[in-house]
Amino acid sequence: MTSSALYENVRMSLRSIRANKVRAFLTALGVMIGTGAVIAMLALGAGAQKSVESSLESLGSNLLLLYSGQPKGGSLVRRSTTNIVPTITEADVEAIKALGPELVALTAPESSASGQAKFGNTSMTVTIVGTDIDYPSIRNIRPVAGDFFLTSDVDSRKAVVVIGAQLYDDLFGGTGDPVGQKLRLNGLSYRVAGMMERKGNTTTDSSVFIPISTYQRYISGAKEFALVNIQAGNSDQMREAQSAIESTLLRLHKIPNMDAADFYVANQLDLLDTLQGVAGTFTLLLGGIAAISLIVGGIGIMNIMLVSVTERTREIGVRMALGAKTNDIIAQFMTEAIILSVGGGLIGVAIGVGSSYAFSLWGGLASTVEPFSVALSFGFSLVIGLVFGGYPAYRASQLDPIEALRYE
């Protein structure tokens, strides 16, 4: 096809589309909705994946969580530790530390319970977390005011507390320096040593942190820990560290295998894999449904192009009589179908990108429009024009000129 013939095809197609504006719009609407839906759904999926990744990264790096309690098949999502009977002892933690810095860099036991916090006349229920000094390093969280408590605080069971960012808002009204203030936890007075940065994670932000020794003495009375936060030596040895910890604890707890264990180890990698798998499936599902609507849009194009070919049978006959060849007729109708699908696709891209932003702006949903998904759905709409426009165009080209000229 020469560029002049292409120009003529585009001109004639636009004229034919203009002559049937409503019909053309409704036909292209199918592709618009399909393309828009694919982009928006993939954006939601990508957003979910990103937010999973970032919330996992915010948990800490090379993180292993050693939980008390029975391993439950597959469930790696961090559970509440407030109602678990703690089974991990100080000796267990020492044994884990003894695995060496290659495998275990840092450990911080953790137990938690809900309790009453009171500042001035404001009181509320909070999660009281007893832990050790390395907790901030392992969980990748820093104090923004004052300091986290020190080894000396732990050693001497000091009544010091580090508050979460949300609690600063809720208890202190978000104003003034909290450091040095007195906060009552379950009736006992604690000195506020610091305030943690905001993580955007409700549990962490509305917790208070006290030395584990203080926790054992005043809150739980138990010597065991519900949970130990562990930082592996490096990211390549997460699984080695996990199995070393498991076999050490099986030996210490005199348990033959993990099925019967009273603890289990959650690995950040597994957690990431699982959540990413979920997000991926979610993306695939949404994208798949949206792609179906795009295909339905394509069928709409085919349908209307078949109608158009029938309506214009006589025109096709005239064109053939005037010297149009098979390819000229195919090109003409393909051009029209592609203009419909690509036009619909372009508007659909705008709709998809627009609604993705609307989702994150007003819907509170994380969504990320990736150039790849725009290219994919736009390319898909082009392919749909080619595929679903092809058959009607071929039908048109195969008409017998004599019959076509006689068609009323």
Q: Does 22 bind another protein (CB under 8 A)?
A: no
CB 47 within 8 A of CB 360: yes
Of 32-40, 214-222, 311-319, 367-375, which segment contacts another protein by CB under 8 A? 311-319
Q: Does 223 bind another protein (CB under 8 A)?
A: no
Give me the least distance between CB of 283 and another protein, in Å please.
45
Q: Which of 13, 16, 220, 268 binds another protein (CB under 8 A)?
A: 16
Of 4-12, 67-75, 235-243, 374-382, which segment contacts another protein by CB under 8 A? 4-12
Give me the least distance between CB of 394 and another protein, in Å please.
13
d(CA 330, CA 392) in angstroms, rounded, equals: 9
Q: Does 2 bind another protein (CB under 8 A)?
A: yes
Q: Does 6 bind another protein (CB under 8 A)?
A: no
Give me the least distance between CB of 11 and another protein, in Å please.
9
The single residue listed with the structure tokens 């997000």 is 279
From the list 177, 102, 105, 171, the residue with the least C-alpha distance to 145 is: 177
CB 258 within 8 A of CB 264: yes
Between 169 and 328, whose beta carbon lies closer to another protein?
Answer: 328
Q: Does 326 bind another protein (CB under 8 A)?
A: yes
Contacts with another protein by CB under 8 A: the residue count is 26
Q: Does 402 bind another protein (CB under 8 A)?
A: yes
Q: Which of 184, 328, 354, 407 binds another protein (CB under 8 A)?
A: 328
Q: Does 21 bind another protein (CB under 8 A)?
A: no
Q: Which of 139, 158, 199, 319 binds another protein (CB under 8 A)?
A: 319
CB 290 within 8 A of CB 357: no
Between 8 and 262, whose beta carbon lies closer to another protein?
Answer: 8
Q: Does 121 bind another protein (CB under 8 A)?
A: no
- Write out the DSSP string of 99-165: T-TTTEEEEEEEEEEEEEEEETTEEEEEEEEEE-TTHHHHHT--EEEE----HHHHHTT--EEEE-H
DSSP SS3 for 222 = coil
Give me the least distance between CB of 404 and another protein, in Å please.
10
Between 5 and 383, whose beta carbon lies closer to another protein?
Answer: 5
Between 251 and 406, whose beta carbon lies closer to another protein?
Answer: 406
d(CA 99, CA 245) in angstroms, rounded, equals: 8
Phi, psi of 2 (to 5 degrees): -75, 165
Q: Does 7 bind another protein (CB under 8 A)?
A: yes
Single-letter code of the amino acid located at 240:
E
Q: What is the Rg, in whole angstroms, of the alpha carbon atoms belonging to the chain?
A: 33
C-alpha distances in Å from residue 360, one per residue of 36, 45, 401? 16, 12, 56
C-alpha distances in Å from residue 64, one per residue of 6, 141, 208, 253, 316? 63, 16, 22, 19, 72
- Which residues are CB-contacts of 103 (< 8 A; sequence separation ≥ 6)? 232, 233, 237, 240, 241, 244, 245
* Torsion on CA atoms 138, 141, 144, 149, rounded to nearest 10: -40
Q: Which of 73, 323, 364, 371 binds another protein (CB under 8 A)?
A: 323
At what angle are helices 326-362 and 21-57 packed, to 10 degrees?
A: 50
Q: Does 14 bind another protein (CB under 8 A)?
A: no
From the list 233, 249, 241, the residue with the least C-alpha distance to 270 is: 241
Exposure string (b/e) for 363-384, b if CB count within 10 Å is 16 or more?
Answer: eeebbbbeeebbebbbebbeeb
Q: Does 15 bind another protein (CB under 8 A)?
A: yes
Of 10-18, 54-62, 246-254, 350-358, which segment contacts another protein by CB under 8 A? 10-18
Q: Which of 53, 169, 262, 315 binds another protein (CB under 8 A)?
A: 315
Q: Which of 179, 318, 365, 387 binds another protein (CB under 8 A)?
A: 318
Q: Does 8 bind another protein (CB under 8 A)?
A: yes
Q: Does 98 bind another protein (CB under 8 A)?
A: no
Give me the least distance between CB of 314 and another protein, in Å please.
7
Q: Does 370 bind another protein (CB under 8 A)?
A: no
Of 50-58, 282-290, 317-325, 359-367, which segment contacts another protein by CB under 8 A? 317-325
Residue ranges in contact with another protein by CB under 8 A: 2, 4-5, 7-8, 12, 15-16, 19, 314-315, 317-328, 401-402, 405
